[in-house]
Structure 1
Amino acid sequence: MADYDQDNLEDCKDVLKTKDGIDRLALHHSSVGRFSNALGALIYPIYGQGELPQAFCRRAAVKGCLYVLRMPVIALLMDKGSGSYKGVKLASGQDLFSPQLVLDPSRIVPSPLAHSSPDFLQDGSEVFGLRDAKGKVARGICITNSSLKPDVSNFLVVYPPKSLYPEQITSIRILQMGSNLAVCPAGMFVLYLSALCDDAIQGKKLLNEALCGLVSVPISGYPENSSADQSENMEEGKPTLLWSALYIQELTRGSYGSISFTPMPDGNLNYDYLLDASLKLFNKMYPHEEFFPKTTSSDKLEEDDEFDPES
């Protein structure tokens, strides 16, 4: 439940305090056995995390928000006099004005924003220092032909620091999901790997070491090798790796006046950090408003009427 080796204070970038450690243990213990059909302490959403945007879309529509698909923002609208943000320009040519703007952390803001004078700014390749990188997470997505653990489809594997090789200073987490969650075809399994890292070389080494211990990689690219030759190189008892993709994600955050960026998902399996960051961002934008106020019975009735199929 810790990211770094707590015994090596030189390399440990996150020393776990006693209270934080107890809180993590309490969260894990209270999560075990909450649902009869969910083994362990984790709940896996069907179709993966793709259901989260749909839940937000529903919630936003009920509360009077607009959720527009396939309508990219092509420019920021800036005030000529003050140079401050005042709106966005859509691909349709429509201008939308707002006092504040929240952007996806992967969004690129052009560098002329620092001394802008035009009415609007087109997207550019150079990034002004609006975002601050707070570390990196190495991530991997793999597809195998069988489960890492017989007769179990969904579970978590954790390699603590130094469990694979002496220079491993961070934990490696592997989350396996099966076809019962509609994330892959029947008979296949998806592995999600993640580990905090300093750079791409270190991150990919962490993931590759974990994969070597879990799956068998078939020999490819050599037509002269027969299937029998390949089977001799496969380790017995290990699933076969059918496809994989490894990448490095920067943990960025930042703001510039009325423009704010949401944080990137961190290396944890829960959403605690994102929820806390969202609450802080809301309080910054609306300091006198209540965050998700409780809905009264009359409000619920009105919401139901709005979505009544007979009306």
Structure 2
Amino acid sequence: MDDIPPYPPIDPTTFDLIVIGTGLPESIIAAAASTASKSVLHLDPNPFYGSHFCSIPLADLPSFLSTHSTSPSPPYQQSSDESNEFSVLGLSTRPLYSSIDITRFSPDLLDKNSRKFNLDVAGPRVFFCADKSIELILNTGANQYMEFKSIDATFVGDNKGNFSSVPDSRAAIFKDKSLGLTEKNQLMRFFKLVKGHLAGEQDVKISDEDLQSPFVDFLNKMGLPPKIKSFILYAIAMADYDQEDTGVCRDLLKTKDGIDQLALYNASIGRFQNASGALLYPIYGQGELSQAFCRRAAVKGCIYVLRMSVTALLVDKDSGCYMGIRLASGQDIFSQKLIIDPTFKVTLPSGSSPPLPLPLQGKLPFFSQKDDRGKIARGICLTRTSLKTDMSNFLVVYPPRSLFPEQVTSIRLLQIASNLAVCPPGMFVLYISALCDDEDQGKKLIHAVMTTVLTVPRINSESNAAAQNETAGSSSTGTSDPGEGKPTLLWSALYSQELTLGQVDFICSTPMPDGKLNYDDLVDAADKLFKEIYPEDEFFPQTSSKNPEDDDDGDGSPET
């Protein structure tokens, strides 16, 4: 990047809002603020959009992960000629990824095609056709900047490599040959009960007592067998933890929430003409979502500057209130509000002698401490053949205990093919994720899936320290085990990601990619944060007609 000319000074130098990082929550908030007629400056130290929600080429992924597995930013050095108007607080990054393990088995093939991949850093992710994120995309016109394709099917996997279709509709139940007649009747009666309850039919209304009870207890009350319960809990309601073991379950799903998820799933099936199933995936990868909202914000006047690092915050010396930021170029930019990517932490600059303002002394540790909310293990695998010979794009859910007895969380696998422009023709990308307590547990979960569905060549994996060597052209090869009909692994990246929540104080930070399959929780978090900083403004107000300033002229539905 040394050959890139320096940016000219940013003009103007004062904004209503500055946003650092172009991840999904930050991009949504920037678009919402711009729509509310706020002046917004949106910065990102990366040369691409999306931050930790990005989709990037294969060649760039190892360096991106390794860069964010350490804290490379040195403490801000305070100079002797600092202004008397404000104090300067350093802004550095905290590590986000750990236990990075990258392995290559076909270096020549991958090097030749490395720029033809668009790999999701925060995968696996999908959209339900009727979820909040799709509604937001439609309501804001961001769909004019994205195209989608349908995910073909959803399956439940086991430790023998078998995939069972999820009977998520009346037609699917009738077609499912793995279900007996009794199981089909039980499932049909249950779906009929749920449909009647949602329609407000009094004779089939689920009681308030049942709605507040654990969903698994309600399913037991309905007499559903274990196989059907597993499908409903983990492949339709998308529960993360073992719902039948209260000793390990950290998120016990209530019946009301389970019914709402069933309703979402049902409403998603067949909503769009060219999407046969309940799930969608964006062409070119999940990073397109952040870019769509950035384009939406730019149409409304937001100013974007990539490759621009921020080194420090400026705060009033007397009150401790936030005033602005200092760029790596040395320019000071001011704003009323600031939102930052949560990987940033605020620190006292090196060599700082004046004491901090009293109002700020209690707030600084709040933004410097590590917000430990657990981890999520992620894996990306590349193959040349599909896990199912007759299908390209599909989701597989491994319920708790389905792979080994100590598995207490669901594991999700999403296979995506070249027709979604994420990889070269004839190749497939597998995204795997699972919530975990530590790196060792996370790797065990990801490896359990990989060894079940893939032929993994015999080789010692590269360590985290060796991950940087791959970017310089190092590679690994090995002798393959007998395939047994399973796809052979070409390349894999395994890593753990910290889970952090957003914080609101004298500055605000957004949440990191979570362990959910869709984006609803992140959309809710962006909505809440926007209302915290702008309580008098509406979050993307509904309009009866399109704004002529928008450069969209579509029909208001995703292109699938």
> Per-residue displacement from partner, 1:33-70 (whole Å, max 9, x unpaired)?
33454453210101101212221122112222212212
Shift of 1:205: 0.6
Q: Trace 1:44-55 onto structure 2 (pairs within 5 A).
A: 44-55=281-292
CA contact (8 A) 1:89 1:95 kept: yes
The 1-side partners of 2:543 and 2:370 are apart by 36
1:148-227 correspondence runs (5 A): 148-220=387-459
Runs (4 or more) in structure 1 with deviation over 6 Å come to none
Q: Does 1:70 align with 2:307?
A: yes
| Superposition TM-score, scaled by structure 2 size | 0.49
Match of 1:30 in 2: 267
Distance change >3 Å, CA 72–CA 164, structure 1 → 2? same
Structure 2 partner of 1:144: 383
**What secondary structure does 1:26 align onto?**
helix
Identity %: 64
Structure 2 distance, partners of 1:220, 1:64, is 52
Q: Return the alpha-carbon distance in structure 2 between the equivalents of residues 220 and 253 of structure 1.
A: 37
Distance 1:40 1:302, change over 3 A: closer
How many residues align structurally?
289
- SS at 1:263 equivalent: coil
Equivalent residue runs for 1:1-311 within 5 Å: 1-110=238-347, 117=356, 128-129=367-368, 132-220=371-459, 230=479, 233-255=481-503, 257-297=505-545, 300-304=547-551
Alpha-carbon displacement from aligned partner over 1:220-260 (angstroms, at most 9, x marks no partner): 47xxxxx9x945x2232111111111111111124352211
User: For the Cα contact (< 8 Å) 2:347–2:368, is it kept in 1?
Assistant: no
Cα distance between partner residues in 2 of 1:127 and 1:46? 39
Residues 142-201 of structure 1: per-residue CA shift (max 9 Å, x gap): 111111111211100100000001110000000110011111111111011111111111
Mapped partners of 1:280, 1:128: distance in 2? 19
Secondary structure of 2:281's aligned partner = coil
C-alpha separation between the residues in 1 aligned to 2:417 and 2:355? Answer: 50
CA contact (8 A) 1:143 1:242 kept: yes
Q: Go from structure 1 to structure 2 and tell me whether the alpha carbon gap of 1:285 and 1:104 turns closer, same or farther (over 3 Å shift).
A: same
SS of residue paired to 1:283: helix
8 Å Cα contact 1:131-1:255 kept in structure 2: no
Contact 1:77 1:85 survives alignment (8 Å): yes
- TM-score (normalised: structure 1): 0.85
The alpha carbon displacement at 1:276 in A equals 0.5
Structure-2 residue corresponding to 1:123: none
Structure 1 residues 200, 33: closer, same or farther in 2, change over 3 A?
A: same
Aligned residues of 1:172 and 1:194 also touching (Cα < 8 A): yes
Query: Secondary structure of 1:28's match?
Result: helix
The higher-RCO structure (CA 8 Å, 6+ apart) is 2
Mapped to 2, the partners of 1:147 and 1:135 lie a distance apart of 32
Q: CA RMSD in A?
A: 2.5
